């Protein structure tokens, strides 16, 4: 079974997960054309607003072809309990029908309640793994080992 991990990372948490998965799956990092502001305050305000309006970021050279993969693992930071805007774009651009789908969410605090509702409404039998800042808490990666 061939796997791919498609993810967006702004603070390094996604990169930590990608490093952990590199021997188990192909890795495809999503890069938005315009990233969030550098200031923490403006970063959370902008990201939070984008999630409320279900904004889809424009991506740099995103390859939407996943035909050769049986399992797709999508990684997203949680902003305002929702999926990040670059991952909203990914979900809009790729066809996940007939794929085994797993989501890995990470956040500094809070829950993934809205993101979980969204992906459960889009995909049958979706697996969801919630992590709390894996770049600062490496033990969180053990949750992936148990689920994948």
Whether the pLDDT of residue 66 is over 60: the answer is yes
The residue length of the chain stands at 148
Contact 17, 75 (CB under 8 A): yes
Contact 77, 107 (CB under 8 A): yes
Q: What span, in angstroms and rounded, lies between the C-alpha atoms of 148 and 127?
A: 9
User: What range defines the domain where residue 106 resides?
Assistant: 3-147
* CATH number for 19: 3.40.50.360
Confidence at residue 22, expressed as pLDDT on a 0 to 100 scale: 95
Q: What is the DSSP letter of 122?
A: H
51 versus 2: the higher-pLDDT residue is 2
**CA-closest candidate to residue 134, choices 7, 4, 3:** 7
Does this model's pTM top 0.95? My answer is no
Q: How confident is the model at residue 43 (pLDDT cuts 50, 70, 90)?
A: low
Range 64-68 average pLDDT: 90
What is the number of structural domains in the chain?
1
């Amino acid at each position: 079974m061939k796997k791919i991990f498609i993810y967006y990372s702004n603070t390094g948490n996604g990169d930590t997960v990608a490093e952990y998965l590199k021997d188990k799956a192909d890795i495809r990092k999503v890069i938005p054309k315009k990233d969030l502001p550098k200031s923490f305050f403006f970063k959370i305000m902008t990201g939070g607003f984008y999630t409320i309006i279900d904004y889809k970021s424009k991506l740099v050279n995103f390859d939407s072809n996943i035909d050769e993969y049986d399992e797709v693992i999508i990684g997203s930071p949680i902003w305002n309990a929702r999926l990040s805007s670059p991952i909203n774009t990914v979900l809009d651009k790729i066809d996940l029908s007939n794929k085994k789908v797993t989501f890995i969410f990470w956040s500094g605090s809070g829950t993934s309640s809205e993101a979980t509702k969204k992906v459960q409404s889009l995909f049958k039998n979706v697996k969801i793994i919630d992590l709390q800042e894996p770049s600062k808490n490496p033990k969180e990666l053990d949750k992936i080992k148990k689920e994948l």
